Structure 1
Amino acid sequence: MNKQKQTTDIKEKLTKIFSFIILLGVGGIVGAIGGMMAVEEGRSPQGNILGLLLIFAIFIIAFTVQIILHEAGHLICGLISGYDFVSFRVGSLTLVKENDKFAIKKFNIKGTAGQCLMMPKEDDYEKSPYVLYNLGGILMNAIITILCFVLYVIFGGNRYLDVILIAMIVSGIGTFITNGIPMKISGIANDGYNLVSMKKNKLVRYCFYMQLKVNGLTSKGTRIKDMPLEWFEIDEKADFSNPLVTGIKCTEANYYHDKLDFDKAKQCYEFLLNYSPKIVKLYEYEIKCELIFHEIIGRRNEDKINELYTKNLKAYVKASKCHINKMRLMYAYALIIEKDMKKVKKILDEIEIVKKRYPNKGEVESELEIIEFIRKNFESANTTI
């Protein structure tokens, strides 16, 4: 177990170093461009600073544009592959389709700048295409980057146009590398990693298909508890360190959650925690959040809760406060552990706001039912506090 943890730590450090090198490279390019423009124009030191800030702003905009184009690539290739549109997210703004109309919701996943989710139409995962959909983002970045390079070669000479084109080229290369080379960034498996995993393993491909299908159905309002349990039951000898396989086991836990069968849900999470040295951080945090919740509504062992509820996990919960399941956790914590009714009321008021802008209808209905379960079983015991 220690060797697994060391290997995981080394991989995480290498990923951070790799990301730092990319940022350093971008910073160097920005500085070089700013320096050359300053020399050409004979700017004052103050003008140099303003020029650098403008160039940095252009690069930030370019990276944002490349992110949007990346997700648009997934969307286009998904539609070509026969998928149905579910959601399109950039930052926290999420475009969804409700009752044949488009609506803007608010949602975010720590470690991701955007996401395009679609739903496969095929009933058989083996017949459902997956390569083009996964490659769509990096293909779009590659096409736009090459196009910007061609424009730079043909029309180069205007320093301001050059900066914009260079920013698009550099950001495009960076986006292509960080999504195309198989790796996990900030605990999230990228497109290249997922595609290679699916190519090697049919089970991983099934888990990818099933997660998209479940997300598509719940987004339309179907509850997980109304889906067949066998969709989520997989061999316990499977490689649960793979993010897609981890995800399907979490979906099984969500199935039991939705049925208010908390004991079985807890068993799923405890099973996965055994793989924690190799599980991506995102899932490790999610699992620990749910185990804290089960401890709160169960034995209420505060030592166990404090052991799980580390500084890093608290930071993750705070960064994921737009997730309704985190609000359910904080509601239970404030009510049962802290016994702070003012805080409870504040969280409930926030839930009323979040549920209206949340992109997944089925998840909202499930979480609201669990919150109501907590209220009925625990709130009356704390109203005098």
Structure 2
Amino acid sequence: MELKKSKSLKIFLSVALFIVFSGIGFFAGKMGVSASSGMSKLSLLTLVLLFIPIFFIVIAIHEAGHASAGVWVKFEFKTYIVGPLMWEKDTKRWHFKWNKNINTAGGLVICVPVGTENLTKRFSIYAAGGPIASLLFTIITYGLYSLIPIQNNVGILRNILFIMAVLSLIIFISTAIPMRANGFSSDGARVMHLLNGGDTARFELLILKLITNASAGVRPKEINTRELNEAFILAQKIKAPFKVYLHSFFHQSEFDKGNIDKAEQHLMDYINEIESIPKGIRNIVWIDAAFFFAFAKKNLEQATIYWNKFEPAALIPKAQILATQAAINILKNENQLALTNIEAADKEISNMLDKGLGIALKEKLQNLKISASKLV
């Protein structure tokens, strides 16, 4: 019965989103055609060239909403990413660098909770900050667009404001509507789950802590095992789609601790449930398995089987791919090639979204480098 309800809700939301976005598209297109009819070709070309910067500005506002809400509830603001731009905070100050990770190009903010009091309420405010900022920006930009008179000398400015308003509205709707995709929740779904209380709220809170801490640099062996076990039990109880991904957290935690047998057991549980992972992101499992069997088990045959199943994808950090290649190179006695891949992997670690896993991988790369250097 629950499964039927879930499917019905997904169908309803999909239809509702299609109708809403179709309506926005029709309205925006109609107004856009009307507004552009009196514009010169140069003005139209200018708008086309400015579209991507405008889009990133709209994303920046959304992410700034999350950041502001996070600071307001006394979270530590650690990372701010918009397109190719990234700012990260260390223990003392902020640093700028270019974002080379395509997975975060759509915008990302990382705020780490300080203290444990009222975490559910604080996380819900943090999650709501982005959609609220997008809605406010929609109102402001559309209001300014409506107030500016139609004149040739301000035509481009009016249209920029209109485009901003439409894009911001789309982002607001797509993030505010409660929905899940591949086991991950929208901002609206997170707020709803957190405020509803009970097992679902507790599970959502535990997952947010896991992901946030990993992104902030908590390495796998430092994960709170009690909370990880609690999350797994709750996932089974509420039949959460995210449950399958918890096998990865268990695997990486034991792998980082050096408990190879336990790490292998969790990895096999992960592989055995791979059918519940969308095809587009199953490569995460194959790369984890290929690296584990090459690095920890020194099993070239098994590592090669999983490596052959793996297909490079934007979702997979280059550091993990290169590290796996290096581990396999060593087993094949291709030690010079291994050193080249190790060096390349080390340079890519800073681009990993999971900073904690990156710390653990850097340590493993040092071990690989020692092994390869001895054999050159």
- Per the normalisation by structure 1, the TM-score is 0.75
* Alignment match, 1:79: 71
2:209 matched to 1:210? yes
Moved more, 354-363 or 370-379: 354-363
Count of paired positions: 357
Measured at CA, do residues 149 and 213 of structure 1 come closer, stay the same or move farther in structure 2, by a change above 3 Å?
A: closer
Query: Which SS does the other structure have where 1:232 is aligned?
Result: helix
* Shift in Å, 1:102: 0.8
* Alignment match, 2:340: 346
**Equivalent residues of 2:66, 2:109 under 8 A apart:** yes
**Equivalent residues of 1:89, 1:116 under 8 A apart:** yes
Write the deviation string for residues 74-119 of structure 1: whole angstroms up to 9, x where unpaired: 0001111121112111235331111311112445362761111111
Higher relative contact order (CA 8 A, sep 6+): 1
RMSD: 4.0
* Alignment match, 1:254: 252
Q: Aligned match of 1:60 in 52, 74, 84?
A: 52
Identity, % of aligned pairs?
18
Tell me the amino acid that sits aligned with residue 344 of structure 2: E
Write the deviation string for residues 123-162 of structure 1: whole angstroms up to 9, x where unpaired: 3575662211001101000001001111122114142122
Q: 2: distance between equivalents of 1:23 and 1:378?
A: 57
**Equivalent residues of 2:123, 2:205 under 8 A apart:** no
Aligned positions of 1:130-169 closer than 5 A: 130-158=123-151, 159-169=155-165
Measured at CA, do residues 124 and 197 of structure 1 come closer, stay the same or move farther in structure 2, by a change above 3 Å?
A: same
**Equivalent residues of 1:207, 1:244 under 8 A apart:** no
* Shift in Å, 1:340: 4.4
Aligned positions of 1:87-236 closer than 5 A: 87-105=79-97, 106=99, 108=101, 110=103, 113-123=106-116, 129-158=122-151, 159-184=155-180, 189-200=185-196, 201-211=200-210, 214-215=213-214, 219=217, 223-234=219-230, 236=232
Measured at CA, do residues 147 and 228 of structure 1 come closer, stay the same or move farther in structure 2, by a change above 3 Å?
A: closer
* Alignment match, 1:368: 362
Tell me the amino acid that sits aligned with residue 272 of structure 1: Y
Write the deviation string for residues 225-260 of structure 1: whole angstroms up to 9, x where unpaired: 245432322365543774655555433322212223
Structure 2 stretches of 5 or more lacking a match? none
- Per the normalisation by structure 2, the TM-score is 0.77
**Equivalent residues of 1:182, 1:192 under 8 A apart:** yes
Tell me the amino acid that sits aligned with residue 368 of structure 1: K
**Equivalent residues of 1:119, 1:212 under 8 A apart:** no
**Equivalent residues of 1:108, 1:320 under 8 A apart:** no
Query: Which SS does the other structure have where 1:193 is aligned?
Result: helix
Structure 1 stretches of 5 or more lacking a match? none
